[in-house]
Amino acid sequence: MFKCDRCHKITQPGEKLTKHPVKYRDKVYQIMDTKFKGSIVTSYGKEIVKEINLCESCTNKIADETEGR
Ligand SMILES: [Zn+2]
């Protein structure tokens, strides 16, 4: 059992918890290239800063919302 961060309800025992990321931060990865020594490969990605716990019904709602985009 856990408290859903979206609807703030206490879930049923055994209900699946879904972690949903809500906040991202840009992350820059710099990796040394193994083929060309001394050169650095830069790639950009996202890092999760914050995630919330969702109950099953909220997970379904969020999935519906994001599908429409
Ligand atoms: Zn919920």
Q: What is the distance in A from the centroid of ligand 1 to the CA of 4?
A: 5
Q: What is the distance in A from the centroid of ligand 1 to the CA of 17?
A: 10
Tell me which residue range forms the domain holding 50: 18-67
- pTM exceeding the 0.95 threshold for the entire prediction: no
**Res 22 pLDDT > 80:** yes
Neighbours of 3 (CB within 10 A): 11
> Considering Cα of 51, then 55, then 61, then 64, what sign does the dihedral take?
positive
Residue list, CB under 5 A from ion ligand 1: 4, 6-7, 55, 58
Q: Which tokens go with 36?
A: 């060309």
Give phi and psi for 31, each to the nearest 5.
Answer: -120, 140
Q: Could you read off the pLDDT of 51-66 as tens digits, one per residue? A: 999 999 999 998 888 7
Determine, yes or no, domain membership for 10: no
Indicate the number of domains in the chain: 1
Determine, yes or no, domain membership for 4: no
Q: Which strand (E) or helix (H) includes residue 27?
A: strand 18-32
Q: Which strand (E) or helix (H) includes residue 67?
A: helix 56-67
Q: What is the distance in A from the centroid of ligand 1 to the CA of 5?
A: 7
